[in-house]
Structure 1
């Protein structure tokens, strides 16, 4: 094997210009693969982090995923039964026994839970009326399942406890109402209950739908406003490991019977777009590497053509077809490996260069640059793909070299 490596190195070294061109093609392909993957994966990671940052990992709702089976369907399972005109049963909306469910959830490792009561209300200031979603929370519990506290730009959640009928609203909602910190606004719920509330805090998440339409009050205040005493309609769950959200949501739903949605389910369309985006990205960058591998195919084919007599001599000295084939495969793999190493270094430099670019834009999330993912697995995947592409490109000329008949070569040369 050492002799084959020395021969392969010598053949590549004698054609330095062609070898450098082929290695450079592979290196550029690997570098572009790494840089584009860093851009795309960084953006996706940032986007998912933003979703996770402003929303709970699991939301338990006061509804069931499917309506309960009717008596005829239970009595005659699998029969040709059609039930029509069924009116939903009147019942008090709300999660039953929320205290027991909260205790069971909080007993799980790495799980934090908080009850909320969400409902619509008409906020009024002077002659301006704005519809908003008012959510009743327990500040002590809510800060463990939400990052709303770090998005506060004025006041704090604790002011809800210190102020009678205090409310924390989004910055966009405050602008729509024309109010500021310390102003008193009116709130009217669909139940007809009207309360005067004092603005004790403002928040800005960067998500317009939240900043322009949401407000937070104490849970007891929300229950009074919605005329639903001792009722909660959602339990928000946050996990230490976000990858557990989907399986845990299915377990919670099977145990409690309440509809439980993970952040993956709530954002399924967006995550599907990411899958398509990744497929396009890897197809394009893979095509670049395949095109670069044709350079290796050309150089190996040229070496085989020029070294026909040398191949005949090697066979006459006892080299088998397998040895000859391995000789040229090693040349392709070495060129691919050199291209992968140089490409990884070049890719790292491209990522650092992209990280220095500034857009000069003010964004709510505070980012004015490319979001880049520096993942060693991307480097490994690009290197493996480059070496495999180089090996595959060398297969055809290597097989052609191994099938040369030394007698015919020597006779033709004579």
Structure 2
């Protein structure tokens, strides 16, 4: 195509300017890729941190409320009183577990008894949040056994696992007895089988693990469970799966997104900030392309005038400048995508002294296709103004200048 040949000749006639334009576009695209990969990488890391050691869907009994009963006397209302002493429980938990096992999207299931208690050692007393599980499924939701720093993870009939901070506060170590007093008013002497350290203060200082069979008489739950924790193959689908379970079981199903609404809000705000930065970086690139092509059109007024005098159409003149913008955009975007991927891949290899990734960056999430298309289309649009300006030149005025 002749217009393409002319556009290419114009670009190569001033190689330094063309190179600067392409480098400018490439730098803008590289910045776009870096910001996108960094924001997506941070979102992935935060999500993984939340979902790796917690349930993706939690099933609990529906909260019961007092209800007004009909009364023969219109001036008297009868109210059904809900007991606050009797713990809410899932009685038909076995059938719910069977339903969960039949779902291919479920990766782990943990029926639990959760409650509050106190650990008493001499005059020291510490409140704890109790999680009672099947010993065989101790690591179903959170890998506790791999975090044991003293003792082991064998719960047995009278064992308890506590966090390292809780052990320090009470002066306990593996193998020592401790008085366990539940919120139901039941006491029992248990043996600290193991001490774990997760690095999370809330767990290491406030959580204790028991066998579910040990917890039943302590919390006065001979047959039911208080909650069923579920992990999914795809944590992102937790909301939809929670809605399905709520309808199928009649229980209250809570997704991890609902429990961590603040995290979702923070990630959304972070994504919006990143989008604004990306938009401004692209705008600066496009302004540079439009300015350079405008200068080129002004310098070539004489050439454009001669072509117009020989009968070259306005459409052809405009097409030449649009093609210049297209070539600059495509080449610059391609180089920027490659350099952005190389930069992100290099940054992903950097680690801290403890071996963790220095930057939470995801090279595969750089939005390469999107930025290539946006930059190319934007470059074409940015060239429209100088293209129209060149096409509208009066041949006589252009030649005389």
TM-score, structure 2 length as denominator? 0.89
Aligned equivalents of 2:262 and 2:40: distance in 1?
A: 17
Aligned equivalents of 1:334 and 1:371: distance in 2?
A: 34
Aligned equivalents of 2:231 and 2:116: distance in 1?
A: 24
- Quote how far apart the aligned CAs of 1:175 are: 2.2
| Number of the residue aligned with 1:5 | 4
After superposition, give the CA deviation of every residue in 1:44-92 in whole Å (9 maximum; x if it has no partner).
Answer: 211110100111110001234x8587678xxxxxxxxxxx996652365
Q: Is the 8 A contact 2:341 2:366 kept in 1?
A: no
Which of 394, 397, 403 is the equivalent residue of 2:392? Answer: 403
Matched, 1:140 2:136: yes
| Number of the residue aligned with 2:112 | 116
What do you get for the CA RMSD once the two structures are aligned? 2.5
After superposition, give the CA deviation of every residue in 1:214-256 in whole Å (9 maximum; x if it has no partner).
Answer: 1111101111221222221100111112222111101111222
Matched, 1:383 2:375: no
| Number of the residue aligned with 2:234 | 241
Secondary structure at 2:112 match in 1: strand
Which of 341, 353, 358 is the equivalent residue of 2:334? Answer: 341
Secondary structure at 2:275 match in 1: helix
| Number of the residue aligned with 1:131 | 127
| Number of the residue aligned with 2:179 | 186
Q: Is the 8 A contact 2:11 2:18 kept in 1?
A: yes
Which of 92, 97, 106 is the equivalent residue of 1:97? Answer: 92
Q: Is the 8 A contact 1:54 1:205 kept in 2?
A: no
In the TM superposition, 1:271-286 aligns within 5 A as 271-286=264-279
Unmatched runs of 5 consecutive residues or more in structure 2: 71-76
Unmatched runs of 5 consecutive residues or more in structure 1: 73-83
Please identify, of 29-38 and 268-277, the stretch whose mean Cα deviation from structure 2 is larger.
29-38
Question: Alpha carbons of 1:70 and 1:258: their partners in 2 closer, same or farther (altered >3 Å)?
Answer: farther
Aligned equivalents of 1:135 and 1:43: distance in 2?
A: 30
Please identify, of 137-146 and 197-206, the stretch whose mean Cα deviation from structure 2 is larger.
137-146
| Number of the residue aligned with 2:24 | 25
Q: Is the 8 A contact 1:58 1:238 kept in 2?
A: yes
Q: Is the 8 A contact 1:167 1:201 kept in 2?
A: yes
| Number of the residue aligned with 1:261 | 254
| Number of the residue aligned with 1:76 | none
| Number of the residue aligned with 2:49 | 50
Please identify, of 87-96 and 212-221, the stretch whose mean Cα deviation from structure 2 is larger.
87-96
Secondary structure at 1:367 match in 2: coil
Aligned equivalents of 2:24 and 2:240: distance in 1?
A: 45
| Number of the residue aligned with 2:290 | 297
| Number of the residue aligned with 2:362 | 373
TM-score, structure 1 length as denominator? 0.87
| Number of the residue aligned with 2:62 | 63
- Quote how far apart the aligned CAs of 1:171 are: 2.2
- Quote how far apart the aligned CAs of 1:319 are: 3.8
Matched, 1:197 2:193: no
Aligned equivalents of 2:115 and 2:336: distance in 1?
A: 55
